[in-house]
Amino acid sequence: MGKIKKIGVLTSGGDAPGMNAAIRAVVRTAIYHGLEVMGIRQGYAGLINADFIPLVSSSVSDIIQRGGTILKTARCEEFRTPEGRQKAYENLKAAQIDGVVVIGGDGSFTGARLFNEEYDIPFVGVPGTIDNDIYGTDYTIGYDTALNTVVQAVDKIRDTASAHDRMFFIEVMGAEAGFIALFSGIATGAEAIIIPEVKGEERDLKKILFDGNKRKKSSNLIIVAEGDEEGGAFAWAEKFKNEYPDINIRVTVLGHLQRGGSPTAIDRVNASRLGSAAVEALLDDQKSVMVGLQNDEIVLVPFSKAIKLHKDVNRDLLTLVRILSI
Ligand code: F6P
């Protein structure tokens, strides 16, 4: 028997549809390999407070189709401190947990990386965030579901926009990244997208919408990523209203409905693959790495890279938005 006999699993940061499928895969893969599993509740806060529950195969029955996370999640300031991480280490030791799978985003991996610089209990990450903004993986858990939720909502907005000849500024999630905005913009035939990755002249909305020999449209949809430096959908709408008082403008902020709901098939399958791969990585003596998907293959990416490097949007897709909205 190897040195890993019992593992812990936690979800951390913003929840994402498919996290439950990942938890299920971690638990069942661990049991398949003869390991015991502890669920750690409320993310890193549960490590610090020793909020652990044993998980058996039936604990993860009937969850693959559910949004949210059965383990709950949180953003934990205390884990950012050396004292917090020391408490976490002591609790893990006392519970005889030999390795931890962290399902979360780059903030969660930053904590995991620090912990692995200080302590010898290996942490392996599974990318879980609707934003899809983690370097080293083509995909993050929850992105596909969120994207489809946005597309359904924007299609509905298009009906009313068209009926009233209105311009809509629609705000989607993405604190630092425009993946949801870009992909939903293409999928819904939006006239323009505003994302943090595009700056300067390239984002001149007036030019994009009204310049040259553009067909005059009676209604327009503009998707704005919430993290845009010039403000969200309300700020952009305000600017436009002042310059074009004749245009009938409305704003919709999609908000947290993007984070909920039953995961799509893609999210369930990928979360299952990644959760399972994380356990295999721990058994393989890996530490301080994230399991990711590149070209549909499982890869291991050091936390140091996943956190520090920036995942850029595909610039060809920005051009595509312009071409297809003439
Ligand atoms: O990181 C995922 C995300 O959904 C971001 O897109 C968003 O900015 C943030 O979480 C909101 O988080 P919360 O509602 O937890 O403050």
51 belongs to the catalytic site = no
Q: 203: which 2 tokens?
A: 């984002």
Instruction: Give the pLDDT of residue 212.
Output: 60
Confirm if 17 and 146 have CB atoms less than 8 A apart: yes
Which residue matches tokens 């610090």? Answer: 48
Domains of the chain: 6-142+263-308 (3.40.50.450), 144-260 (3.40.50.460)
What is the Cα 294 distance to its own chain's centre?
16
Residue nearest to atom 2 of ligand 1 (CA): 14
53, β-bridge pairs: 39
Give Cα separations from 101 to 63, 121, 145, 280 (angstroms): 18, 11, 22, 11
Q: Could you tell me the pLDDT band of residue 7, with boundaries at 50, 70 and 90?
A: very high
* Residue 157: partners with Cβ closer than 8 Å, 6 or more residues away: 168, 170, 221, 252
Check pLDDT > 80 for residue 237: yes
Confirm if 224 and 194 have CB atoms less than 8 A apart: yes
Lowest mean pLDDT among 33-37, 127-131, 224-228: 224-228
Report helix, strand or coil for 21.
helix
Q: What average pLDDT score do residues 182-189 get?
A: 97
Lowest mean pLDDT among 34-48, 87-101, 112-126, 309-323: 309-323
- Return the DSSP state at 141: B
Check pLDDT > 60 for residue 269: yes
Tell me how far the alpha carbon of residue 129 lies from the centroid of ligand 1, in angstroms: 9
Tell me how far the alpha carbon of residue 48 lies from the centroid of ligand 1, in angstroms: 23
Q: 59: which 2 tokens?
A: 């604990």
Instruction: Give the pLDDT of residue 79.
Output: 96
Which residue matches tokens 């990644």? Answer: 274
The answer to whether the pTM exceeds 0.85 is: yes
Instruction: Give the pLDDT of residue 202.
Output: 67
Check pLDDT > 60 for residue 135: yes
